Structure 1
Amino acid sequence: MRTGARGWGIMRTKLAAALAALISVFALVVGVAPAQASTGGTSDTEHTGVAWIVSYIQGPQGTQRSRCSAVLVSPTVLLTAGHCTYGVVGKTYVSFRSEISPGPTTGLPPAKNPAVGYTAVELEGEISGTAQTHPGYSQFTDTENWNDLGVIVLDSPVTQPTYPLAGLGTLDAIRPGDVPKTIVRAVGYGDVMGKPDSGPQTPTPIAFPMERRYVDMPLEGKIEHQIVEANGNDNDARGTGGICFGDSGGPVFLNGEVIGIVSFGSKNCRYTAGIQRVDIAEAQDWLARLTSAV
């Protein structure tokens, strides 16, 4: 279910290498080829305020449909990753179903005009919203001002449970020696690593069944102001798996509170899970202004 990158000092060098795979790993393009999920992981019916979101995003290769995960922080606001909202055109489709599809397709029709994305008419009767991106989102160019945060402001309130953000500086209070002992839980609709039905039996991301899953992961490395990493190795006895394609924007919980959002990972959906912190003023001040305005 998950993946990541490393860094600072040595961490900065490793992070630069991981960024080359960033968008392809977590904001998953939904085209003819199957989309993707988690490394390891457990089917989840508990976190019913975690959503699957689908949008059309304008990028270097044109406008493409993309899917991510998100978490409800108020009845009208879903928190997700900035790279899941940046460049979105039209409306965003939202589903809180624990299982999207057993396969081989999601069943969600494409927009009639991808250049303008989903319209309100096309999503009539569905949960939908409008994407906004953190004004300080650096598009992964500034590690000091990462701000990989976005929201979907819903067109109508929903009744699913909302989740609290961890208090300011929660991660900073963890002593360095206790970091690898700290277990976080990531939830999302990402791919699962498995062997294909035919051809070379190399583990590969598999999209279906497309469902919500969770994994537990130990933190690792130094806790930076914007980013913290977790070890998404499904063979690590301390955890149960890692992040993968489609998990972008999904919440990362510590003691039942949202401590971060899945931001980036490695190509093989193993080992490193890059997490955008939300226990920082840059995140919480922005979200407070948003939620008070809607």
Structure 2
Amino acid sequence: MGSTINLYFLTILIGAVASFDVSRLNVEKVHDPISYEDTIIGGEEVSIEQYPYMALFGYVVPPFTEFCGAFIISKNYVLTAAHCTFLADKMKVELRVGNSYGINGTSVFVSEVINHPNYDPKTVNNDVAILKTVEPIKFSDTVKPVELPPRGVDLEVGSMVDVSGWGSVEWGRSGSAVLRAVKVPVTNREECKKLGKPYDTVNENMFCAGYDEGGKDSCKGDSGGPVVQNGKVVGIVSFGRGCALPKSPGVYAFISAPSIRDFIKKHTGL
């Protein structure tokens, strides 16, 4: 298990997805997808009022098929991880917003999915996708956008970031019905790269965060969700090695990286 990469997928309970070959991600082994009942490890339950930008990403197949996290950045745009959108060319995308129990949220339909043009599924580089909504999202106390960070400003090693989602609370279990969040420290990027596979692909478009002793982490089902610091979203849940293992931090797409921030600006104006 220690040498295994986890891309935090939730189970999609339909035949079309069952045939998806996760080995295309070029890893030694990808853990089997899990159902909507596993989430954040070592964190706590939180309310949607505290995290009103949170969205649950899925596909329009009855019943709604949960897949990843996502987050609102404006009335017309939501962000998620590019590795979550592999079926977007075959199935219509749906979001659920405004409810701590993500599956019970209000439906928001997506008209366009724009993956980063340089997203690489082998290295998980530039792991970001823009979701354009069919109709403007209606804001309320439980549905609000999160602010984007400036371009090119790196994160301070040791500073804390806040990760939220409906993913696994324990390795090998299904996703949490209730939104959860956990705080973890940013780690040194160069030291992270030395931790062996899958961390050898970490670059300036990513950052690592977690405790040396493990115990707190994002997990399966949290992919695509936001990483927030000082009220701004600085990262997107991307990949890791297992969940909350010692010396196995989570890896996050770095939104301030010029490659990613310029892509968001080009397509959203934000």
Name 2:159's counterpart in structure 1. 182
In structure 1, distance between residues paired with 2:187 and 2:54:
25
Q: 2:234 matched to 1:259?
A: yes
1:48-72 alpha-carbon deviations (Å, 9 max, x no partner) = 1110111389xxxxxxx55100111
2:220 corresponds, among 220, 225, 245, to: 245
Name which one, 1 or 2, has greater alpha-carbon Rg.
Answer: 1
In structure 2, distance between residues paired with 1:126 and 1:71:
14
Q: 2:151 matched to 1:168?
A: yes
The change in CA–CA distance for 1:269 and 1:140 in structure 2 (over 3 A counts) is: farther
- Alignment of structure 1 residues 200-211 onto 2, 5 Å: 204-208=172-176, 210-211=177-178
Name 2:116's counterpart in structure 1. 134
Aligned length: 223
1:3-62 alpha-carbon deviations (Å, 9 max, x no partner) = xxxxxxxxxxx9xx55xx343xx12223286333111212222111110111389xxxxx
Q: 2:258 matched to 1:286?
A: no
Amino acid at match of 2:182: V
Q: CA deviation at 1:244?
A: 0.7
The change in CA–CA distance for 1:136 and 1:185 in structure 2 (over 3 A counts) is: same
SS in 2 for 1:211: coil
Name 1:121's counterpart in structure 2. none
2:13 corresponds, among 31, 41, 45, to: 31
Q: CA deviation at 1:87?
A: 3.5
Q: 2:50 matched to 1:49?
A: no
Tell me, yes or no, if the aligned pair for 2:167 and 2:219 is still in contact at 8 Å: yes
Q: CA deviation at 1:86?
A: 3.0
1:192 corresponds, among 148, 162, 169, to: 169
Whichever structure has more strand as a proportion of its residues is: 1
- Alignment of structure 1 residues 94-109 onto 2, 5 Å: 94-96=95-97, 97-100=99-102
Tell me, yes or no, if the aligned pair for 1:85 and 1:151 is still in contact at 8 Å: no
Name 2:195's counterpart in structure 1. none
Q: CA deviation at 1:256?
A: 1.2
The change in CA–CA distance for 1:56 and 1:28 in structure 2 (over 3 A counts) is: farther
In structure 1, distance between residues paired with 2:149 and 2:101:
28
In structure 1, distance between residues paired with 2:230 and 2:262:
22
Q: CA deviation at 1:188?
A: 1.3
The change in CA–CA distance for 1:47 and 1:234 in structure 2 (over 3 A counts) is: farther
- Alignment of structure 1 residues 207-246 onto 2, 5 Å: 207-208=175-176, 210-222=177-189, 224-231=203-210, 241-246=216-221
1:233-262 alpha-carbon deviations (Å, 9 max, x no partner) = 7866xxxx2101110011111111111101
Q: CA deviation at 1:214?
A: 1.0
In structure 2, distance between residues paired with 1:277 and 1:221:
13
Q: CA deviation at 1:277?
A: 0.3
Show structure 1 runs of 5+ residues with no match.
Answer: 1-13, 58-64, 101-105, 109-124, 194-202
Tell me, yes or no, if the aligned pair for 2:56 and 2:66 is still in contact at 8 Å: no
- Alignment of structure 1 residues 59-70 onto 2, 5 Å: 67-70=67-70
| Identity across the alignment (%) | 23
